[in-house]
Chain A
């Protein structure tokens, strides 16, 4: 069955430090991949997406992610974390990329805490 795994439930980093959030997926074909962020009491905001082409994708708020087919991974990175980045981060996979995204499978989420 298709699945998305975010191995780190909770991560704490110091402000200004670099960040990497891990995401692995299990899917027969190359999926459409996404990272979303959810601040407390808020809905989900799309950070970035990968459909095809360049495996390093840039997103909003200074985030980037790299698709590695051999590792079935789509890790999210940011070179310098700001206190406002503290939130819940979700990796997601779209299973039916037929012109429009179909069902999204979400990972369990990673809670990011930023220390001053």
Chain B
């Protein structure tokens, strides 16, 4: 399976600021995804990061709030914009290669004060 890293691993941010989370994979992958895990909850898909084009967002998530980039087949970023305490969550990226199963990064734990 691919080795996935995320930066930062955790951060504490102030209300109204933005944070960019990076996801790096050690090999080229076809698909990259971003999920949110709110405290004590399950995972919810935010968007599919498309290489060279705009991300595909799920219902309830918008580009202005969660802009995503994917410049190549091994790297993606998720920005959480104009943060509020409700954005406090774990943000995880995942990847899927030809084998069809998704593998997850270690997550970024975000606290907004």
Contacts and interface: CB of A to CB of B under 8 A. Distances in A.
Interface residues of A, number: 24
Nearest to B107: A43
A108 to B, nearest CB: 5
Given A100-B96, A106-B42, A42 B30 contact: no
A41 B39 CA distance: 12
Interface residues of B, number: 26
B102 A104 contact: yes
A104 B45 contact: yes
Interface stretch (A11-19, A21-29, A44-52): A44-52
Contacts of A42: 106-107
B92 A101 contact: no
Given A43-B106, A100-B30, A100-B31, A108 B42 contact: yes
Contacts of B104: 36, 43-45
**Interchain residue pairs A-B with the least CB separation, the first 3:** A44-B104, A43-B106, A106-B42
Interface of B: 1, 4, 30-31, 33, 41-45, 48, 58, 92, 94, 96-98, 100-107, 109
Given A49-B101, A51-B100, A104-B94, 19 more contacts: A36-B104, A41-B109, A42-B107, A43-B105, A44-B94, A44-B104, A46-B101, A46-B103, A94-B100, A99-B100, A100-B30, A101-B31, A102-B48, A104-B102, A106-B42, A106-B43, A106-B44, A108-B41, A109-B42
